[in-house]
A and B are shown apart, each in its own frame.
Chain A
Amino acid sequence: MLSLEHVSVTFHEGTPNEVRALQDLNLHVRAGDFITVIGANGAGKSTLFNVVAGVVPVDSGKIILNGRDVTNQPEYRRSLHIGRVFQNPILGTCPGLTIREHLSLAALRGKRLGLGSGVKHSNAAWFYELVKSVNLGLETRLDTDIALLSGGQRQAITLTMATMMKPKLLMLDEHTAALDPNAGAQVLELTVKLAEEYGLTVIMITHSMQQAIGVGNRLIMMNRGRVLFDVSGLERETMRYHDLIERFRSLQTGDELSDRTLMS
C-alpha cells in the first residue's frame, strides 16, 4: 500500500545545526494496517509524516503509494489519497467558514473545481448524518463558524473531513495531544470507529504509550531517524505498558534528559 524505500532526509546539511531527521528508513505499510508510531522528540516521527504527505522533500529514496512512485508529487496532489489530521486543531480548519462549508470543502477533494454551488443542498442529509455520528451534538449547529468550536470539536470535524471521502491512507500527527483527556479520548474513539467503518489504513503518531498499545494492530518505535522496532500480531498483543517503557529506556541509553522526563 505504502512503501518507503531507503528514505533519508537531512535538515541544514553542512552546517553545525545539521539534523539527520530520517536515515535510510524502510517501511512497508499493508492495506488495512493501523500503525501507531512512538518515539522521543526529534526521533523523526513528524518528518516521516511530512515526507509521506509531501511537505518535506526527500534527499534520497523512494515513496510508493498504491503502486505509484509519488516521491516527486507535490503535497496537494498526494492529498487526493491521503487524509491528514494535525496536532494543532487550528491547522486543520479555516476560521470564518461554517461547519457545513468545511464539509463541502472536504467533499470537493479530488473533484475538478467548477462554478457549481460550493455548498450543495444534495449533500445536506449526508453531512447531517456524518456530524451526527460524531456524537457531539454539532449536527444542529452546521451553520456555526468553526472558530466558535472547542479544540476537541474542531478536531472531531477535521477527522470527519479527513475520512469522509475514504482516503487510501489516514495520517494522524498526535491529533489528541492538544486536547483535554476527555476530549482526547472521544476523538480517539471516533478515530478507531471511522477507521473500522471505512476500512482505512492508518498511521498514527502518538506520545502516549497507552494509546500506542491500546489502538491499532502494529506498533513502530522510532529513534534518530530509524525504525527501532516494529511489532505486530501476537508479540504486540502480549506487550505490556511496562515492557514498552523498558524497551524504550534500554534503546535510549544515555540520551537526552527530555526523554526520561517524558516517561516519568
Chain B
Amino acid sequence: MPENSFTNSPNSAEAPRRRLPNLFVLRLLVVAVVVGAFMRFFGVNIGSLGQGLAYSLVGVAVFITFRILRFPDLTVDGAFPIGGAVCAMLIVSGTSAELTLFVAFMVGALTGLITALITLFFRVEGLLASIIVITGAYTVTLRVMEARSNVPLLGERTILTPYQAPVRAWLVENFGRGMRRQSNNLVEIVVFALVVIVVLLFLTWFMHTELGLVLRAAGTNSQAVRAFGVNHHLMIILALMLANGLAGLSGSLAVQQLGFADVSLGFGIIVRGLAALLVGEVLLRPRSIGQQILSAAIGMVIFDVSRAWVFAALSLPTTDIRLVSALVVLSALAAPNLIDRWQEWRKKRRRSDA
C-alpha cells in the first residue's frame, strides 16, 4: 500500500506546503486589482499593459538564465532586436506574421547558442561571452534590416491587424464612440496575453519533463548532474537557446506592437528583464516552477505599468524614459535589501530595549 500512503498521507510536515498555492493566487489577485486601479484612477494608459505583455517573455528568459541555470547571460540584449528585425523584414516581404514568431524564436535561440559555444569551447566567462555576442549581434541586426536603423511596418499585416477592425466596430456599437481610442490597445492585450499564456504553459510542461528536470538540477549543481551521467554542457546550450529564443520571440511581439523595428530596440533589455524577475519575486513570492515562470512574466507587466504611472504622475517628457527605467530597476533591486536591513535594525533595537 505504499502508493496510497504517499498520496493520502496526512503528514503534518506537508500541511503548510499545501496552503501556499492559494496565497500565491491571492497575491496575484491583489496585484491585478492594484494594476487595474492604476489604470482606472491614475490615468495610466492601458497601452502599457500590452507593452508589458509583449516584453514579458524577456522576464522569463532572464529567469531561465539567472535563476534556473545560474548563468549570468546578457545575450537577450542582442537576441531581442535580432528577433524584432527578422520579424519586421519577413512581414515587409509578405510572410505570414504568425510564422515570423517562430522564426524570431529560432533566430534568438541561435544567438543563445553562439554565447553557449563561446563559453564552453573558449572558456570565456558568461558575462564577457554575452557582451561579445551583443556587440556582434548589433551588426547582424543592421545587416538583416539592410543597413537601415529603422524598418516601419506601416500598413503591413501583423498578428494584430486581422482583429483590429472588427473589434473596433464591435466596441463602438456596444460601448459608444468613446471606446474607439482604446480598441487597438485591447486587441494587443488579448492577442499578446494569448501568445504569452501558450508559451508559459509550454514552458511549465517542459520544466516537468525528464529534460526539464535535469535542466533545473544542472543549474543548481552541475557536479551532481555530472555524477548522474548527464552532459551538463548540453544543458547549458539548451537553456541559453531556450532563453534567448524567448527573447527573440518577445522582440517580434514588441516590433509588431510598436509598428517598427529599430536597431537600438534591445538596448538595456537585460536590465528590464532582471527588474521584471525581481519585481515578480518580491511581490508574488512564487514557490513552484510554474509559479516562478508566471511571476517573471507578470513582473514585467507590473514594471511597465509602474513606469508608465511614474511618467503620468510626474508628467515627464518621453525622452526621460531611460532614467525612469533605471530608477525603477534600482528601487526593485534595493527594496528587498532595505527591507531586510530595516527588520534587522528593528530587531536590534528591540533587543537593546529589553
Residues of A in contact with B (beta carbons under 8 Å apart): 53, 74-77, 79-80, 83-84, 86, 90-97, 101-102, 104-106, 108-111, 113-119, 124-125, 128-129, 132, 139-144, 161-162
Contacts and interface: CB of A to CB of B under 8 A. Distances in A.
A124 B3 contact: yes
Contacts of A117: 208-210
B224 A94 contact: yes
B228 A108 contact: yes
Contacts of B14: 140-141, 143-144
B323 interface: no
Contacts of A74: 231
Given A76-B226, A76-B229, A96-B216, A143 B210 contact: no
A241 to B, nearest CB: 33
Nearest to B12: A140
Interface of B: 2-3, 5-7, 9, 11, 13-14, 17, 206, 208-214, 216-217, 220-221, 223-232
Nearest to A75: B226
Contact of B225 (A104, A105, A125): A105
Given A132-B2, A140-B11, A94 B220 contact: yes
Contact of B216 (A94, A128, A141): A94
A93 B213 contact: no
Contacts of A97: 213, 216-217, 220
A149 B102 CA distance: 43
B224 A142 contact: no
Contacts of A80: 229
Given A128-B6, A140-B6, A115 B209 contact: yes
Contacts of A76: 225-226, 229-232
A115 B210 contact: yes
B210 A94 contact: no
A93 B224 contact: yes
A102 B216 CA distance: 11
Given A76-B231, A125-B3, A96 B211 contact: no
Nearest to A114: B210
Contacts of B13: 140-141, 144
Contact of B229 (A77, A92, A144): A77
A132 B6 CA distance: 11
Given A115-B210, A116-B209, A143-B14, A94 B230 contact: no
Contacts of B224: 91-94
Given A79-B229, A104-B213, A109-B229, A140 B220 contact: no
Contacts of B206: 115
Contacts of A83: 227
Contacts of B208: 117-119
Of B6, B206, B211, B225, the most chain A CB neighbours within 10 A belong to B6
